[in-house]
Amino acid sequence: MPLGDSITQADRDHNSYRRPLWFKLREAKYEVNFVGSTKSHFLGNAPKSDFDQDHEGHWGWRIDEVINRIDNWMSNAKPDIVLIHLGTNDILGGESSDSAIAELNQLIQKIRQQNPNVTILLAQLIPATNGERLIRDFNQKMSGLARSLNTETSPVIVVDQFTGFNPKQDTYDGLHPNESGEQKMATRWFEALRKVLR
């Protein structure tokens, strides 16, 4: 389950990281099924429809909004692995990193209530041209959260989406990935998934 905000959903002019990730997984002969309650992109559909489009990306959403809906999404989709890239709207919207981390903790607990054996891939947020220091602080705290929650039955694995991502080159507006940014995100997710997929 790709779970997140606009960076996961993308708009009608962009395919999101999900498309190149899907192709990387297929080329490596992994049999995977993306799951989620929607296929749509913001203001329309993905430019290309040649990949598994199910996802749980929601344009503009904060962590608390996702918390309110996660039980329903989890019980319907029953994912074994959840890819989380969440917190950008919280941090850039003025919420403290401590508060956002506490909500992330709550979200992971709710996901585990639905599937105690779920694997969580928790992305450090990609940088934005405005707010890089805030995002860096949040990402550092996220690593501590992952260590505290990680268990053998339900691993929480940090995926570094921050390092090497250049918002001037890899986004179209300082925040949302362009094609090169989507490729970079897909590569990081793929490297992490290779370690957990059979």
Q: Is the dihedral of CA 120, 91, 59, 192 positive or negative?
A: negative
Selection from 193, 143, 179 nearest residue 163 by Cα = 143
User: What average pLDDT is seen over the chain?
Assistant: 98
128-140 burial: b if 16+ Cβ within 10 Å, else e: beebeebbeebbe
Provide the angle, in degrees to the nearest 10, between the axes of the packed helices 63-77 and 97-114.
Answer: 10
Which residues, 6 or more positions from 180, have their beta carbon under 8 angstroms from its beta carbon?
Answer: 169, 170
Element (H, E) at 56: strand 56-57
Q: What is the pLDDT of residues 71-127, one digit of tens each?
A: 999 999 999 999 999 999 999 999 999 999 999 999 999 999 999 999 999 999 999
pLDDT confidence of residue 198: 82
Which residues, 6 or more positions from 31, have their beta carbon under 8 angstroms from its beta carbon?
Answer: none
Structural domain boundaries in the chain = 2-196
10-residue mean pLDDT series, the chain (198 residues): 98 98 98 98 97 98 98 98 98 97 98 98 97 96 97 98 98 98 98 95
Q: Domain 2-196: which topology?
A: Rossmann fold (3.40.50)
